[in-house]
Amino acid sequence: MKESYNWIMNQLPYTAPFLFVDEIQYVNDKGVEGSYRFSPDADFYKGHFKNNPVTPGVILTECCAQIGLVCLGIYLLGQKTALENLGIGMSSSEMEFLLPVFPGERVTVVSELAYFRFQKLKCEVKMYNKDDKLVCKGVLAGMIGVVNE
C-alpha cells in the first residue's frame, strides 16, 4: 500500500496559482521525490515566449524548491511538530537548465539532503521530464522552522 503524504501537502504554505506540487512519491530522512504538471493555461506562458511558450527558469527553480526544500523540510520537522507558524525562506540557489519544459508537461523532482542543521536546509535537486531526461539540476538552500510569535 502506498504511503500517504497528505499531511505534508496540507502544511504547504502555497495555493494555486503558485503551488507547484501535485504529488509526493516518497520522502525520508535523506530526500524526497515529487511531481507537478504545468497547466497549459498558466498566465506566465502568455508572454514567455511569443508563439513558442516555455516554462520560465524561475518557475522551474520554484518547483524544485517547493518539492525539494519545503516538502522535505516539513517532513524533517516532523509530523508531530505544530507547524501553524512555519517560517520558510530560500537563501541561495544555483541552477543549471538543460532542456525546456513546455505547457502541459509533467515533471518529477528528486532531492537529496546535503544537510539540515540550525534550521538551514541544503539539498541537491534534479528535475526530470516524462521521458526521464534531466531538465535542470542544482543546489538549493533555505531556512525552515517554526517561528515563535
Q: Are the beta carbons of 36 and 20 closer than 8 angstroms?
A: yes
71 C-beta neighbours (distance < 10 Å), count: 24
- Among residues 37, 48, 106, 137, the one annotated as catalytic is 48
Q: Are the beta carbons of 134 and 98 closer than 8 angstroms?
A: yes
Q: What would the pLDDT profile of 13-67 be if each residue is shown by its tens digit?
A: 899 999 999 999 999 999 999 999 999 999 999 988 888 999 999 999 999 999 9
Q: What would the pLDDT profile of 75-99 be if each residue is shown by its tens digit?
A: 998 865 656 667 788 788 999 999 9
- What are the CA-CA distances from residue 29 to residues 47, 82, 93, 114 (Å)? 39, 19, 21, 11
Q: Are the beta carbons of 44 and 118 closer than 8 angstroms?
A: no
Residue 132, domain member (yes or no) = yes
Residue 114, domain member (yes or no) = yes
Residue 149, domain member (yes or no) = no
Residue 72 bears catalytic tag: no
* Residue keyed to cell 508563439: 51
CATH of the domain at 18: 3.10.129.10
Residue 83, domain member (yes or no) = yes
Q: What would the pLDDT profile of 101-146 be if each residue is shown by its tens digit?
A: 999 999 999 999 999 998 899 999 999 999 999 999 999 999 887 7
pTM, two decimal places: 0.92
Q: Which structural domain, as residue segments, surrounds residue 58?
A: 6-144
Residue 1, domain member (yes or no) = no
DSSP string, 16-42: TTS---SEEEEEETTEEEEEEE--TT-
Instruction: Give dist(CA 25, CA 35) in Å, integer.
Output: 8
* Residue keyed to cell 515533471: 107
pLDDT at 2: 59
Count structural domains, the chain. Answer: 1
97 C-beta neighbours (distance < 10 Å), count: 16
Residue 85, domain member (yes or no) = yes
Residue 66, domain member (yes or no) = yes
Residue 96, domain member (yes or no) = yes
